[in-house]
Amino acid sequence: MLRLPLPRCPASVRYPASSLSASSRCYATREKRRPSRLVLSKTVAATGYPKQSKSSDVPPGGLNRTRANLSPRAIAEREKQLREAEEKRLQRKSKYGEADMGEADEKFGHKKTFKHLKMRQALAEVKRSTRDMMKAKEDLRFDEFGLLPSIVEAVKKDAFPGLEYQLPTAVQKIVIRALLKDGKAVREGHVKDGRQSYLIAAETGSGKTLAYILPLLEELKHDEKEEAIEEKKKKAAEKIVSSDPDLEIPVPYQEDPRIGHPRALILVPTAELVEQVGATLKSLSHTVKFRSALLTRDVSPHILRKKLYHSMVDVVVATPHLLDSMTQETPDTLSKVKHIIVDEADSLFDRSFSATTISLIKRSKNMKRLILCSATIPRSLDAKLREIDPDMKRLVTPNLHVIPRRVQLSVVDVDGEMYRGNRSLACADTLYTLAKEPGEEGFVKRVIVFVNERGTPAELAAYLRTKDIDAFALDRDSSQRSNQELLAMFTGDKVGAEEGLSGRRRMKVLVTTDILSRGIDTKTVKNVILYDVPHSTIDFIHRVGRVGRLGRRGRAFLLVDNRVNKGWVKDLKDSMFMGGPLV
């Protein structure tokens, strides 16, 4: 059958919908042309924003704009806020001055915050106003404080031999003046005779030991004078004479009440610090004339009892546990103690010493003056002091919790390509670098390495000796005699090196724990290495504080790995660079 094609409908012809049925519609309307997938839409490039004219000065897309696209009202409001901020800044400047803008910034919320230091904060904050209030602006000398002539002579001859002018440090100016003034007020009756308590807080290496020893000796000498007058009156009143001069009633022998009854206690946390404070007292005792006793476990119990109970002693220097064990059975030993000094108070009021220290203070019934001394004020100590005496006077230097800017901190990455996690190798390489550097020519170069664990010093010292480094270990397990010899090597004056020695051959290294970080005066040491990252900012301050003492320069090297919070290390470096407190 022959099939003919259906006729196509012209495109221009339009039929009414009602006149066409579904079966008779135009073939072209049923097969409508579909758009190709490869043809782009004509509106694909449209952005929806009006096109910029070619004459417009505004770059396309808002590039290189110098003024925000704000309404005139918003611009006026922003300019008003800027003017108000500038007026507040000028008001703070006129009120606080340029030097005290830090306190103003802290008050108005503009203080730079160290996030990672805040997260690990263990130190109590001291306001700038409190620091500045204690600034000693006068340039006084020791002979201008009003000290006894014998004490001034002892300072000149024994504390600073060979110096024509002895200038006290900032903490010595503050403390000596305050303690002498209060002591004089009590003696003259201007102030009610009661218990006085003080907190001496100053940076490491600032001379705190001499600051509390000199006022102590001043008070002891005044007490001796008053006791001598009272004793003379007592003997005159008790003199019994019969009517017949040949029949005088003999007075029975009475032991000197000063035997076995010290008048002052100095408590320190370690035996090494007992030796150091005792050496300072002994040097001053030749001129001032007083007796001191050092109680350490390196001597036999017989000698300890002889020192304390069978001789006249004015000042006792000891650790709390040893003194507590010796006076438990004879509580009368502390009956005449009038002055108690707690050195390194942040250690002696922690968990290991707090109960014993407080027990010794409470058993001293006749105590007139309590002095606490520390280079750091932890939060725990701050709370404890408010329990002991809420009215305690705080003698704080402006640079408390501050590492001097003359101390440079360098960070060594243990996990770097050079060491690959070998911390001992990184320590040895740092010592190699120090040995090659110029400095301390003609003298032995001394370096202290601090570790966290008790058993690490001996292992690390043995490793360093295999690398041809003269290293020694000092920890609790070492004998007391060897510890004293090592301390003398690193706390004494500079030691001349033999001719021809250079590099590692003229370098001595001491590996130790925190036993050496508290109060030990290593004024001639210029380099320390922190083998382990300290547990807290408190330990960091004490370890780094072994260098840069009394205005000298020093360097510290911190070994870190990938487990260390790098943000905390960065905050430490930034705060040290800015000269601010590490809180």
| pLDDT (tens digit per residue) in 146-160 | 888 899 888 888 777
User: What is the pLDDT at residue 213?
Assistant: 93
Distance between CA atoms of residues 317 and 290, nearest Å? 14
Show the CA angle centred on residue 494, arms to residues 490 and 497, nearest 5°: 105
Q: Which CATH architecture has domain 142-230+257-396?
A: 3-Layer(aba) Sandwich (3.40)
- Three-state DSSP class for residue 271: helix
User: What is the pLDDT at residue 110?
Assistant: 46
Within 10 A of 463 (CB to CB), how many other CB atoms are there?
16
Q: Which residue has the higher pLDDT, 169 or 252?
A: 169
Across residues 94-122, what is the average pLDDT?
Answer: 53
* Confidence label for 463 from pLDDT (cuts 50, 70 and 90): very high
- Three-state DSSP class for residue 123: strand
Q: Is the pLDDT of residue 303 over 70?
A: yes
* Confidence label for 511 from pLDDT (cuts 50, 70 and 90): very high
Distance between CA atoms of residues 578 and 541, nearest Å? 16
User: What is the pLDDT at residue 103?
Assistant: 47
User: What is the pLDDT at residue 573?
Assistant: 85
Q: Is the pLDDT of residue 396 over 60?
A: yes
* Confidence label for 106 from pLDDT (cuts 50, 70 and 90): very low
Cβ atoms 579, 550 nearer than 8 A: no
Cβ atoms 273, 519 nearer than 8 A: yes
Q: Show the tokens assigned to 523.
A: 């004024």
Cβ atoms 248, 242 nearer than 8 A: yes
| pLDDT (tens digit per residue) in 112-123 | 556 555 555 555
Within 10 A of 395 (CB to CB), how many other CB atoms are there?
20
User: What is the pLDDT at residue 425?
Assistant: 94
Q: Is the pLDDT of residue 104 over 50?
A: no
- Three-state DSSP class for residue 292: strand
447 sits in which H/E element: strand 445-450
Alpha helices in 394-469, H assignment, sequence order = 423-436, 456-466
Residue located via tokens 């008779």: 24
- Spatial CB neighbours of 384, under 8 Å, sequence gap ≥ 6: 349, 354
Distance between CA atoms of residues 81 and 98, nearest Å? 23
CATH topology of domain 407-578: Rossmann fold (3.40.50)
Q: Is the pLDDT of residue 179 over 60?
A: yes
Q: Which residue has the higher pLDDT, 217 or 62?
A: 217
Q: Which residue has the higher pLDDT, 121 or 483?
A: 483
Q: How do the domains of the chain map onto residue ranges?
A: 142-230+257-396, 407-578
Q: Which residue has the higher pLDDT, 546 or 550?
A: 546
User: What is the pLDDT at residue 165?
Assistant: 53
Greatest mean pLDDT range, 2-11, 259-268, 400-409: 259-268
9 forms beta bridges with: none
| pLDDT (tens digit per residue) in 23-80 | 445 555 555 555 555 555 555 445 454 554 544 555 555 556 666 677 888 888 888 8
Dihedral in degrees, nearest 10, Cα atoms 383, 387, 389, 391:
60
Across residues 476-500, what is the average pLDDT?
Answer: 76
* Confidence label for 215 from pLDDT (cuts 50, 70 and 90): very high
* Identical fold, 142-230+257-396 and 407-578: yes
User: What is the pLDDT at residue 277?
Assistant: 92
Distance between CA atoms of residues 472 and 465, nearest Å? 9
* Confidence label for 338 from pLDDT (cuts 50, 70 and 90): very high
Distance between CA atoms of residues 54 and 57, nearest Å? 8
Lowest-confidence segment of 123-132, 219-228, 395-404, 467-476 by average pLDDT: 123-132
Cβ atoms 338, 223 nearer than 8 A: yes
SS3 content of the chain, % helix, strand, coil (to 5): 45, 15, 45
Q: Is the pLDDT of residue 128 over 70?
A: no
Radius of gyration of the chain (CA): 39
Lowest-confidence segment of 117-121, 471-475, 557-561 by average pLDDT: 117-121
* Confidence label for 333 from pLDDT (cuts 50, 70 and 90): confident
For residue 546, give the nearest of 496, 476, 474 by alpha carbon: 474
